[in-house]
Structures are given as C-alpha cells and as structure tokens.
Amino acid sequence: MTQPGPDWLLIINRVIGTALWVPALVFYGVSGLIAPLIGVLALWVVGAIWLGIGARWWHHRSLLYAASPALALATWMLIVYLGDRFLGWTA
C-alpha cells in the first residue's frame, strides 16, 4: 500500500492564511496612531480574539483560516470607522 500524500489544498490555505496575518497584525499593532488609548486596547483585544480564532481554525478548518485575516481586517476597519464617526477619532 502506498502512503497518502500531503493534502495540497490544506497546505496552500495555511500558507495563504499565514501570509495574510502579517498585514492584519500590523494594522492592529499600529492602531495607536489613529485611536486613543482605550480604543487601542479595544482593538488589541479584538485582534487577540481573532488570532485565537485563527489558531483554532488552523487545525480544523483550513479554508476559514485563510479567510480569517480578511475578517480581522474588516473588523478593524469597522471599529476604526465607527470610532471616527461616533467618538471623534481622527487619523
């Protein structure tokens, strides 16, 4: 019997997801440039939650893991937009 080969779709999804996490974490890391301290802390908490979700999806759902950085960036943009719109944060 032959040994099963690697699951290429799983490997590709993990590589894409990991590569996309870099800019997502940069956005969360530099949030202090556009938000007050309480906003920065809130953004970091949300970023940590998304990172935890991504780590969980790494093992169970590789396609969702590849999409999780985009979801994290969308959440970041929504929080920053709402903070600017309703709380007066400015860039």
Residues 16-52 pLDDT 10s:
888 888 887 787 778 777 778 887 888 888 888 888 8
Q: Which of 17-21, 60-64, 84-88 has the lowest mean pLDDT?
A: 60-64
Instruction: Give residue limits of the domains in the chain.
Output: 8-86
Whole-number Å distance between alpha carbons of 34 and 81: 11
Tell me what pLDDT residue 91 has: 56
CA dihedral for 39, 40, 45, 48, sign (positive or negative) = positive
Coil, strand or helix at 27: helix
Q: Is the pTM of this model over 0.85?
A: no
Evaluate if residue 84 carries a pLDDT over 80.
yes
Tell me what pLDDT residue 11 has: 79
| Structure tokens that stand for 55 in this block | 């780590």
